[in-house]
Amino acid sequence: MSLRMPVIVKPLTNTEVKQAKPKDKVYALSDGDGLSIRVKPNDSKLWLFNYTTPYTKKRTSISFGIYPELSLANARKRRDEARKLLAKDIVPKENREEKKRINNIFHNNTLKHIAKKWLEIKKGTVTTDHAKDIWRSLELHIFPSLRKIPIHKITAIQTIEVIEPISAKGTFQFRVF
């Protein structure tokens, strides 16, 4: 019975990464601890982190980004972050997808989106004309500045800056039901 010794990989240098030339086939240069850079025949270079999933024990990889947009130092930081997740039995690819999903939810909850939901709820308690008037006021005065901003990013100062000019004109008759 022979025991295999772990292979010690010499970390890459910035020069090695920069000077890696394309070949006829895709090849990879390893930096160690699962990080490698895949060099394609079209001269694109992609950072990959290879790992074993905690529960299924299957080998997989996650892409970190393209070189030179993502430097060797930053690729190593992402590798270290991914290894910390794995130490907690968190799959890096699933973690990234979940963060992306949550981020999309937050950024799709714009003021206009929330206002539409709010108006649907309030429509049953006010007249149709009053609901149209409120929506028209929002479209004229509030939405031009705040419509596309995620609701969690709207600050009190932004809101005051939008409402003050309306108030100064003396036409501010916006009422919350």
| Predicted confidence (pLDDT) per residue in 77-90, tens digit | 999 999 999 999 99
Same structural domain, 125 and 56: no
What CATH number does the domain containing 72 carry? 3.30.160.390
**Residues whose CB is less than 8 angstroms from the CB of residue 23 and which lie 6 or more positions away in sequence, other chains included:** 39, 41
Q: What is the pLDDT of residue 164?
A: 85
pLDDT score of 172: 57
Residue 1 reports pLDDT greater than 80: no
Residue 150 and residue 85 in one domain: no
User: What size, in residues, is the chain?
Assistant: 177
Q: Is residue 69 part of a domain?
A: yes
Mean model confidence pLDDT for the chain: 89
Residues 45, 81: one domain?
Answer: yes
Both 49 and 119 in a single domain?
A: no
* Contact by Cβ (8 Å): 144, 161: no
| Residues of the domain holding 147 | 111-169
Residue that has been written with the tokens 């709010």 in this structure = 118
pLDDT for position 81: 97
On whether residue 1 sits in a domain, the answer given is: no
Alpha helix locations (H) across 88-137?
92-108, 111-122, 128-137
User: Which residue carries 């996650």 as its tokens?
Assistant: 62
- Smallest CA-to-CA distance from 67 within 41, 93, 39 is with 39
Domain count, the chain: 2
Tell whether 37 and 75 lie within a shared domain.
yes
Same domain, 38 and 80: yes
More confident residue, 5 or 125: 125
